[in-house]
Amino acid sequence: MTATQDVQSIAPSWAAALAPALATTEARRLGGWLKGEEAAGKRIYPPAGARLRALELTPLDAVRVVILGQDPYHGAGQAHGLAFSVPEGVRVPPSLVNIYKELARDCGVQAPGHGNLEHWARQGVLLLNNALTVEEGQAGSHQNRGWEAITDAAVAAVAAKPEPCVFLLWGNHARKKAMRVPGLAEGHHLVLTAPHPSPLSAHSGFFGCAHFSKANAFLARHGRGTIDW
């Protein structure tokens, strides 16, 4: 199945917004390239069927918050299609541990004992990575292979929504990706930036950023409810 068919089959609400991106040369080549990598014996994460999980769980018309990641986790059993998230039963990665620490400090929400963020996604939190696949043990290995055309278009589609949304941009990579969207910072959405929550940078300003409470305050102010973090 090609990337184009995959998007249209599992996330119809995204189909129209992503159609131009899916028509690009890079996107058309993506499906064939992934099949070739797998045929060569390379292990690709997440597995087929989970790669567009963020778009499946969070339809375009339901998006209230966007959190951008860079790559899926590249260890066995970790990636399941949502940025920063892992399935229940998998050890919580360090960056997510720090996200939970800030959430506890900011909102008093205690870590749930697992790293599955599907409950965020189902409330309208788009947990989108820049590239939606990765080779086992090779961080960044699927960058610039065609996913960016699709994920950039998804970010632009949210930015074009008339309803105010919140963009949480953690780290330079997320900030640069979002700022490729014309006028996003000057629009009616709330754009919050902070260092990445990884252990290497969390103490440089991620801790104390209060993004979760700020996001909810903005959503409530605009009549869009709040996220049950």
For 174, list phi and psi in degrees, rounded to 5: -65, -40
Q: What percent of the chain has pLDDT over 90?
A: 81
What pLDDT, on a 0 to 100 scale, did the predictor assign at position 181? 87
Cβ atoms < 10 Å from Cβ of 84: 20
Which of 168, 146, 136, 145 is closest to 63 using CA atoms?
A: 168
Q: Which residues participate in catalysis according to the annotation?
A: 71
Instruction: Look up residue 157 and give its two tokens.
Output: 């589609």
Instruction: Say which range, 14-23, 161-170, 203-212, has the weakest mean pLDDT.
Output: 14-23
Burial class (CB in 10 A: 0-12, 13-18, 19+), 2: middle
The helix (H) or strand (E) run that includes residue 37 is helix 25-39
- The model's pTM is 0.94
Number of H helices, E strands in the chain: 9, 6
Contacts 24+ apart (CB under 8 A), 22-28: 22/149, 22/150, 24/146, 24/149, 26/145, 26/146, 26/148, 26/149, 27/3, 27/146, 27/149, 27/150, 28/2, 28/4, 28/146
DSSP readout, 108-164?
Answer: -PPP-SS---HHHHTTTEEEEESSS-EETTBTTTTTTSSHHHHHHHHHHHHHT-SS-
Q: Which pair of structure tokens corresponds to residue 154?
A: 């998804």
pLDDT at 85 over 70: yes
* pLDDT tens digits for range 119-152: 999 999 999 999 999 999 999 999 989 999 899 9
What does the pLDDT read at residue 186? 75
- Tokens matching residue 215: 């996001």
What are 189's two structure tokens? 């959405």
Min mean pLDDT across 4-13, 54-63, 145-154 is at 4-13
- For residues 95 and 217, what is the distance between their CA atoms, to the nearest angstrom? 24
Q: What is the pLDDT of residue 6?
A: 54
Given this model, what pLDDT does residue 28 score? 84
